[in-house]
Amino acid sequence: MTVYSAPSRELLFTLQSIGRLGDLSGFELYEHATPETVEQVIEEAGRLARDVIAPTNPIGDKNGAKLENGRVLLPKEFETAWKAYTEGGWPGVPFEAEFGGQSLPWTVTVAVSELWSSSNMAFGLVMLLNQGATEAIHAHGTEEQKAIYLEKMIAGEWTGTMNLTEPQAGSDLGEIKSRATPGEDGTWRIKGQKIFITFGEHDLAKNIIHLVLAKTPGAPAGSKGISCFIVPKFLINEDGSLGKRNDVRCVSLEHKIGIHGSPTCVMAFGDNDDCVGYMIGKENRGLQAMFTMMNNARLSVGVQGLGLAERAYQQALAFAQERRQSRAVGAPPGPSAIIEHPDVRRMLFTMRSTIDAMRALVCRNALAIDLAKVAPTEEERTNERALADLLTPITKSWCTDRGTDLTSLNIQIHGGMGFIEETGAAQHWRDSRIAPIYEGTNGIQAIDLVTRKVPLQGGDTVRGLIGEIEAVIPALNAAGHADLAAIAAALAPAAAGFAKATDWVLANVATNTDDVLATASTYLEMAGNVVGGWLLARQALAAVEKLKEDGADRKFFGARIASARYFAEQRLPVAAALLGPVTTGNAILADLPGLLVA
Amino acid sequence: MTVYSAPSRELLFTLQSIGRLGDLSGFELYEHATPETVEQVIEEAGRLARDVIAPTNPIGDKNGAKLENGRVLLPKEFETAWKAYTEGGWPGVPFEAEFGGQSLPWTVTVAVSELWSSSNMAFGLVMLLNQGATEAIHAHGTEEQKAIYLEKMIAGEWTGTMNLTEPQAGSDLGEIKSRATPGEDGTWRIKGQKIFITFGEHDLAKNIIHLVLAKTPGAPAGSKGISCFIVPKFLINEDGSLGKRNDVRCVSLEHKIGIHGSPTCVMAFGDNDDCVGYMIGKENRGLQAMFTMMNNARLSVGVQGLGLAERAYQQALAFAQERRQSRAVGAPPGPSAIIEHPDVRRMLFTMRSTIDAMRALVCRNALAIDLAKVAPTEEERTNERALADLLTPITKSWCTDRGTDLTSLNIQIHGGMGFIEETGAAQHWRDSRIAPIYEGTNGIQAIDLVTRKVPLQGGDTVRGLIGEIEAVIPALNAAGHADLAAIAAALAPAAAGFAKATDWVLANVATNTDDVLATASTYLEMAGNVVGGWLLARQALAAVEKLKEDGADRKFFGARIASARYFAEQRLPVAAALLGPVTTGNAILADLPGLLVA
């Protein structure tokens, strides 16, 4: 098993070239996020990820989470890692200082999250769910609720969960059956069963704060009749100490393809009719409370795809330098290191360049979230909010699909050894497979993209993005640099195709909705590639500038330019060619049941 | 878990429209392969696959193979299945009647193999390895060796294995260290360790016939100094009865991502210096003996990708009809079956149309093997032999990569349930991941394609294939049928792009070899899509003809036309667009180690 090493320079370059690292600390909210501080944060997080968390990853995969007498047992190494993580103040990265947070921008939060995902994605889920629940309480809780929960959750003393799914209600939350009935004291009694609850039970934290969707008596049918409740594992006394055990328990764990270190729980609420819940937000507006959090969680799931791909890439690169097999063309006699073989290089550089694009996309998405808060004008804040909304389904789906692709390439580079579990390549691929499914399947993301996000601001959000993409082409051509010109040559038709596909989506989404839905996933794939290629092009421009400085690291910046060109030449022609498939619509698929189903 | 059902009609239609089913029985060698007999064979194999073999698949996955005191224990259900399989005479399908075989053509053999791969790929491996070893002895054994081994192996009383890989010698067999020293009696003593030996030890058969690559004293270095030996688990007495146990044993089993029911053995030969082997073929010509068999084995591995994809498709279709979630556009109130949602249909029809293309490709490849034996003229036999050689790496790689893609789509259609092992969707995806690796990694196939197969007959083989592809376009346009015209419109630029990419490969492979190697996998992907699209177009033409008959099954043949059109419109534009990526060559990758490696 190779050692994981945090890609700090890559992260910092991405923050500099895409994430407006220097600028953000000019805004009061992020005044602590100076470049020096951010660099330190990433270095420290990288050390924790490498030295403490990464060693727990194969252990978690092998031993998994176990349920014994209602208790979920995790590998003891997870406890040590959780202690180090919480003592370092890491759960507080994106939260305000008022509640003990570090007030760092999302651009930095996602950079740090990548390190957790790379070092142990399964373990990283307890962080992710806690962050999401904390955000939801922060956004929708009463002052009293915030006072009770936020500080403890941000300290990692307690952790949060999200309880949405039921067997009949997955993508369609309108179908949930869990019920909440009012108690006499203003609290609620919750009854129902939830499935797929990540870290629904564990002993890392002293308390677990469940956010639970349920229906109140007489609530409207469907998604407009769902309320959200805080259900603590242990009730909290007036003095803040822990009181009696609430009537909620984990009744079983799922046996999954991957993320074995993350307990996926079936949770029973109110089996003894004594499960106490506290409504958060307004009655029947529970989905809104969840969606606040879900957008950022979707971005974070995209980050998981990136983190696993990076981990797999490091492993593949190390193996390819080590393993000797067959003599390469022009090499000295005897077997060459397999990195000398062009087809292995193809796989490695496909990983590398795609990862660079994923990281840039994640960063731009996070920047939009930050600027939506701090940008100086209302117009800019509105536009960045819309851009964040537009990019989020793309980041979630494109990065998680690529996560599965690239972890599979790592297996392929390992050859027969890749299929053997002990090598460690397999785990990342198995782990990766959940990310295209949870937090809204990638199909749901695509539907969200074409029906809600592309039409935002009457289409001006996506048109503005396309305008930015097109604007980089003359800049690339003006530089008098062969690599940049080659990138421009590939980007121009891809951007034009994306613009046409977008026009088609906008023209048809209201009237020929099924046509647009039928190719929504293909449109999303096109969008991910074009936006990724554009961001890499910007980074290549930045790298060319950097190389003009004395003593510039030719290897590092040269790799950035090569990465952008490789991505442009290999992927963008395919992205451009998706215009045809996107615009074919639904005609054949409409006949499908008639053709296939008896 | 859904019930597997053999796609008999699809197989027969493929044999009729692509496999020259009626014609082949006109040749003496295949005189028994009348359409009626073939239909019966497929029906019977389908029953065995569905009723006996398919139920063993999840059992094999869950319980796996276990090593206890040198014995490999398999689930007892495997014994029952093996008994039914051998009693039915199935191991003999492709072999001559002289040794108890059924003398059926390869087009039928691969159709039947698909059923075994769908119903239990791991179990199917013992069949596959036995078939390969039988072929090798058939082609290279002495008359005495054939007399001793073939009948028993074709009866499935004994099974065969292939012992090639060693830890330092995977793709590069020239590096093997196993040694063979001559004994006094004309036999040899074998010493060495082999890894990744499929069904290297088990109790299904009374004896195991290992084919083992080893080096004789003074053998030339590298792949030109490798000999092949028959090493029986039990030596065989003069009267054909089993004698003493040979000095060969299984020392451990690998812990793999998938195919848990297939024991992957580390085999020790000659630990006590008493491992008896018999040379097969000429000294130092062992690789040639293996390659005879390997070509057909590569086709059979392509069939595994197809078989798993078909199994996954059936599961996905059943789930999509059953599972209700969210109301589809225009559907009655309440959740619709998810097959009503266009994005789910997209996934299902992507599976369906790609499977149709895979099956057609497998069939055409097998037909070339058959015609190479029986075609009336020497020229035709030579050309079909070359075509079989050309298509084999494409079938192996393209079908196995698609196998992994499509089994992954099955998981995606299942949503969260797909990630849970008990659902059964996961197993197919895990199982599928070995196929792009073994029998020569897909990268090795791509190298074989561009360096040896495309240049066959000075490029005339591939040019002949392209000519056949181009020839279907006017036929499609002449039919006055909108679907066929749409297929032609997509196929024409894809064929043109493939022709140009092929010219580039031919022009550069000798002089700029690294450029061609750098994009060989992309060229192979292009080839697979274009050849697949062409064969589907031919099937669509055949279906249009069939629909002119009275009482034709409109649904069945309509689905064939829709499948071809969907594949053409969704995949062929992307295939055409690969011309750019293919012809970019190696420039960036040549710099890769300088850029990436410290």
pLDDT, residue A17, reads 98
- Domain range spanning residue A255? 141-147+158-285
B257 to chain A, any CB pair closer than 8 A? The answer is yes
Closest-approach residue (CA) in chain A for B490: A580
Mean pLDDT of A14-23: 97
pLDDT, residue B264, reads 98
Mean pLDDT of A535-560: 96
pLDDT in tens, A433-476: 999 999 999 999 999 999 999 999 999 999 999 999 999 999 99
**Residue B453: inside a domain:** no
Q: Which amino acid is at A424?
A: G
**Residue A78: inside a domain:** no
pLDDT at B598 > cutoff 60: no
A142 to chain B, any CB pair closer than 8 A? The answer is no
Closest-approach residue (CA) in chain A for B562: A588
Going through A270-365 in order, the beta strands assigned E by DSSP cover 276-280
Largest CA distance in chain B: 84
DSSP single-letter state for residue B382: H
pLDDT in tens, B26-43: 999 999 999 999 999 999
Q: Any idea what the Cα angle at residue B316 is, between residues B314 and B319, rounded to 5°?
A: 110
**At which of A285, A308, A329 does a domain end?**
A285
**Least Cα separation, residue B577 to chain A (angstroms):** 6
Please report the residues numbered 350 through 379 in chain A whose beta carbons come closer than 8 angstroms to any beta carbon of chain B.
352
Among the partner-chain residues A168, A347, A566, the one whose CB lies closest to the CB of B588 is: A566
Interface test with A, best of B512, B553, B588 (most A CBs within 10 A): B588
What DSSP letter does each residue of B62-126 carry, written as one string?
A: HH--EEETTEEE--HHHHHHHHHHHHTTGGGTTS-GGGT-----HHHHHHHHHHHHHHHHHHHHH
pLDDT in tens, B30-84: 999 999 999 999 999 999 999 999 999 999 999 999 999 999 999 999 999 999 9
Q: Any idea what the Cα angle at residue A71 is, between residues A68 and A75, rounded to 5°?
A: 85
pLDDT at A597 > cutoff 70: no
Please report the residues numbered 179 through 208 in chain B whose beta carbons come closer than 8 angstroms to any beta carbon of chain A.
195-196
Q: Any idea what the Cα angle at residue A569 is, between residues B434 and A17, rounded to 5°?
A: 100
B584 to chain A, any CB pair closer than 8 A? The answer is yes
A595 to chain B, any CB pair closer than 8 A? The answer is yes
A419 to chain B, any CB pair closer than 8 A? The answer is yes
pLDDT at A270 > cutoff 90: yes
Mean pLDDT score of chain A: 96
Regarding pTM above 0.95, the answer is yes
pLDDT band at residue A261 under the 50/70/90 scheme: very high
A566 to chain B, any CB pair closer than 8 A? The answer is yes
Among the partner-chain residues B434, B565, B591, the one whose CB lies closest to the CB of A588 is: B565
pLDDT at B597 > cutoff 90: no
pLDDT at A588 > cutoff 90: no
Count of CA atoms in the C-beta half-sphere (13 A) of B358: 32
Q: Taking CB atoms and an 8 Å limit, are A596 and B329 in contact across chains?
A: no
Q: Taking CB atoms and an 8 Å limit, are B342 and A586 in contact across chains?
A: yes
* Assembly ipTM: 0.97
Q: Taking CB atoms and an 8 Å limit, are B346 and A519 in contact across chains?
A: yes
CA distance B273 to B271: 6
Largest CA distance in chain A: 84
CA distance B240 to B235: 9
pLDDT band at residue B479 under the 50/70/90 scheme: very high
**Residue B382: inside a domain:** no
Mean pLDDT of B575-580: 98
CA distance B17 to B1: 33
Could you give the C-alpha distances from A70 to A164, A203, A249, A284, B422, in angstroms and in order? 21, 11, 7, 32, 22
Could you give the C-alpha distances from B321 to A398, B72, B334, B517, B598, in angstroms and in order? 27, 41, 15, 45, 54
Percent of residues, chain A, with pLDDT higher than 70:
99
A415 to chain B, any CB pair closer than 8 A? The answer is yes
Place of tokens 């040269």: A558
pLDDT in tens, A317-343: 999 999 999 999 999 999 999 999 999
A577 to chain B, any CB pair closer than 8 A? The answer is yes
CA A545, A550, A551, A555 torsion: positive or negative? positive
Smallest CA-to-CA distance from B97 within B31, B9, B164, B174 is with B31
CA distance B284 to B281: 9
Q: Taking CB atoms and an 8 Å limit, are B329 and A513 in contact across chains?
A: yes
**Residue A113: inside a domain:** no
Please report the residues numbered 433 through 452 in chain A whose beta carbons come closer than 8 angstroms to any beta carbon of chain B.
433-434, 436-438, 441-443, 446-447
Which residues of A are known catalytic residues? Answer: 439
pLDDT, residue A293, reads 77
pLDDT at A587 > cutoff 90: no
pLDDT band at residue B591 under the 50/70/90 scheme: confident
Closest-approach residue (CA) in chain B for A575: B574
Phi-psi region of A481 (alpha: psi -120 to 50; beta: other; left: phi over 0): beta
Closest-approach residue (CA) in chain B for A582: B570
DSSP single-letter state for residue A30: G
B513 to chain A, any CB pair closer than 8 A? The answer is yes
Q: Taking CB atoms and an 8 Å limit, are B411 and A437 in contact across chains?
A: yes
A558 to chain B, any CB pair closer than 8 A? The answer is yes
Number of structural domains (chain B) is 2
pLDDT, residue B1, reads 59
pLDDT band at residue A80 under the 50/70/90 scheme: very high
pLDDT, residue A512, reads 96
**Contact partners, residue A418, CB within 8 Å, separation at least 6:** A410, A411, A412, A425, A426, B437
Percent of residues, chain B, with pLDDT higher than 90:
95
pLDDT at A598 > cutoff 60: no
**At which of A285, A312, A346 does a domain end?**
A285
CB contacts of A450 in chain B (<8 Å) are none
**Least Cα separation, residue B221 to chain A (angstroms):** 10
pLDDT at B193 > cutoff 70: yes
Mean pLDDT of A414-435: 97
pLDDT band at residue A594 under the 50/70/90 scheme: confident
**Residue B365: inside a domain:** no
Q: Decide: residue A40, CB within 10 A, 0-12 exposed, 13-18 middle, 19+ buried.
A: exposed
Q: Taking CB atoms and an 8 Å limit, are A443 and B170 in contact across chains?
A: no
CA distance B561 to B548: 14
**Residue B79: inside a domain:** no
Mean pLDDT of A494-510: 98
pLDDT at A426 > cutoff 70: yes
B573 to chain A, any CB pair closer than 8 A? The answer is yes
**Residue A62: inside a domain:** no
Helix B342-374 and helix B520-547: axis angle, to 10°?
A: 90
**At which of A240, A267, A285 does a domain end?**
A285
Interface test with A, best of B162, B254, B313, B595 (most A CBs within 10 A): B595
Tell me, what CATH number does A239's domain have?
Answer: 2.40.110.20
**Residue A576: inside a domain:** yes
